[in-house]
Amino acid sequence: MAVCIGYVRSRVSRSAWTQCARPAARGGRLCKEHRDSLHGAVLGMLGVERILQFDLVPKALNLREKEQ
């Protein structure tokens, strides 16, 4: 079974990191927790939350229809 390639804070030192010991999620290299954290961080950096605002959804859908 593959092990997660992510790192976690060491319990011994605040400045040290150690490899995550959880199993990697099926079909991936990260455990579920690290995968979800990474996805959340990337979505936040891309500003996806602006598209998900209720009043902007119809505008976003109209833009996609016009592009096709």
Amino acid symbol at 9: R
Contacts of 61 (CB under 8 A, 6+ apart): none
pLDDT at position 60 is 64
Q: Answer yes or no: is 13 within a domain.
A: yes
Domain housing 50: 7-67
Specify whether the CB–CB gap between 46 and 25 falls below 8 A. Answer: no
62 lies in some domain: yes
31 found inside a domain: yes
Whether residue 68 is predicted with pLDDT greater than 50 in this model: the reply is no
> Quick check: pTM over 0.75?
no
**Is 35 contained in some domain?**
yes
Exposure string (b/e) for 31-54, b if CB count within 10 Å is 16 or more? beebbeeeeeeeeeeeeeeeeeee
How many domains does the chain divide into? 1
Does 1 reside within a domain?
no
Digit-coded pLDDT (tens) for 6-64: 999 999 998 999 999 999 999 999 999 999 999 888 877 777 656 566 666 677 666 55
Q: Beta strand 7-9 with 17-19: parallel, antiparallel or unpaired?
A: antiparallel
At residue 57, the pLDDT reads 63
Tell me, yes or no, whether 2 lies in a domain: no
